Copies of this chain bind each other. A is one copy, B any other.
Amino acid sequence: MSAFEALTVSTLPVRLGQEAAIRQRVGDDPSAWSVDEVGDGNLNLVFIVRGAAGAVIVKQALPYVRLVGESWPLPLKRSFFEYHALIRQAERDPGMVPEIFHFDEAQAIIVMEFLSPHIILRRALIEGQQLPKIGRDLGNFIARTLFRGSDLAMETRKRKADLALFADNVELCDITENLVFSDPYFEAPLNRHTPGLEAIVTELRADRDMKVEAQRMKHLFAAKAETLLHGDLHTGSVMVTMDDTRVIDPEFAFYGPMAFDVGMLIANFWMSYFSQSGHEAHGPRDAMRAYLLDTVEEIWTTFTIEFTRLWHEERRGILYQASLFEDRNDRLASEQALHGVIHDIWTDMLGFAGVEMHRRILGLAHNADFETIADEAKRAACETKALKFGRHIAVNRTRIHSPADLATLAERLEQEIVQ
């Protein structure tokens, strides 16, 4: 195992030029490869390597957080977890993640499919694009990956071995545990927020019910090792065209509660919703807002339909065994159990979503949806609505029953009928 060395645009062809899997896809003459560094994420180096035969993505982890620098070390093994998550997701929902061509554990390098002409979903939503397939694709993706990675479907011996494997992803879990669930609710050093939010920030940090609920969600996140999560499933982790959807960047993968991926994903659509009024320079976004609420509903509906199908067709794990229900001709018992499971995911999803909305506005890692609104007063107004929405759904999560309830609430906040 050679010592870790960060790739550069000039060293990359030399270092990877002998890999048959890459030469096959880029071209046999590495000296003719063109390499661009395009990483705009918080953590890693990302290169596009182009040649006569085509192009690939080369992603390399760095031993620190790129966004912060060497003062915040972060282990290279996150690349190992990303690789292992990607191959599992590819099995569980084929075609929804980039194909992997090469993995070098010691150098923390993953070489994968170059997605083109895909763009980041968050960017598309900021631009006001209505993508017709994402509700279905993402709803199916969460249903399939969450169901098939759990004791509902897996042989429990394999699930427990996988749980142990991913339990070592400590440092990335630590980021979520601190930055998502705790930092937003007190004056943590890494926090920042838009000027103008001071009053509501003070209010939220004194909000006992919200703080306790956020910590209850953290308890669930840390303790409920239910399935292999993506772990960072926001709209910046999805690449899209009008007819293709791909999920990328699962380095936060670990065994956690199903509701976490669901809640984080949906929260990012609600943030997009509340950010739209900051992007109306080229025309109103009413149709875009309606599209976003419809998409949330479509994600949830697709998720429940596909989860239900898998429940009936692939429930071969140790939980809710057919030997107790269907095999005894009590199909209604199976439905009763299914409703319980989906009800719990729904309830917990709202808690995770509310917390995600807070941390993206008050914590370290902000969303381009809001950040690209240049007018600070306008941005603060958008963010205020999102903060209020997040607080409401997290604290009232046991009393809200449908995406339609939430759409109505979002509209009333947006129209300032409630404030």
Q: Which residues of A contact B (CB under 8 A)?
A: 150-151, 156-157, 160-161, 163-165, 167-168, 170, 173-174, 177-178, 182, 185-186, 205-206, 208-209, 211-212, 215-216, 218-219, 222-226, 255, 257, 318-321, 323-325, 327-328, 330, 332-333, 336-337, 340-341
Contacts and interface: CB of A to CB of B under 8 A. Distances in A.
A163 B167 contact: yes
Nearest to A337: B212
A367 to B, nearest CB: 23
Given A223-B226, A340-B216, A324 B182 contact: yes
B164 A167 contact: yes
Interface SS majority for chain A = helix
Contacts of A212: 320, 333, 336-337, 340
A215 B328 contact: no
Nearest to A159: B222
Contacts of A160: 167-168, 170, 173
Number of copies of this protein chain within its complex: 2
Contact of A324 (B150, B174, B215, B327): B215
28 contacts: A151-B219, A156-B174, A156-B177, A160-B167, A160-B168, A161-B168, A164-B164, A182-B324, A185-B324, A186-B327, A208-B330, A208-B332, A208-B333, A208-B336, A211-B330, A211-B333, A212-B320, A215-B320, A215-B337, A216-B340, A218-B319, A219-B320, A219-B341, A222-B319, A223-B224, A223-B226, A224-B224, A225-B225
B336 A151 contact: no
Contact of A170 (B157, B257, B320): B157
Contacts of A151: 219, 222-223
Nearest to A214: B324
Chain B CB count within 10 A is highest, among A205, A211, A223, A224, for A223
Contacts of A178: 318
A410 B321 CA distance: 31
Given A151-B222, A177-B156, A225-B223, A323 B186 contact: yes
A336 to B, nearest CB: 5
The 3 closest A-B pairs by CB, nearest first: A164-B164, A164-B167, A223-B226
Contacts of A182: 318, 321, 323-324
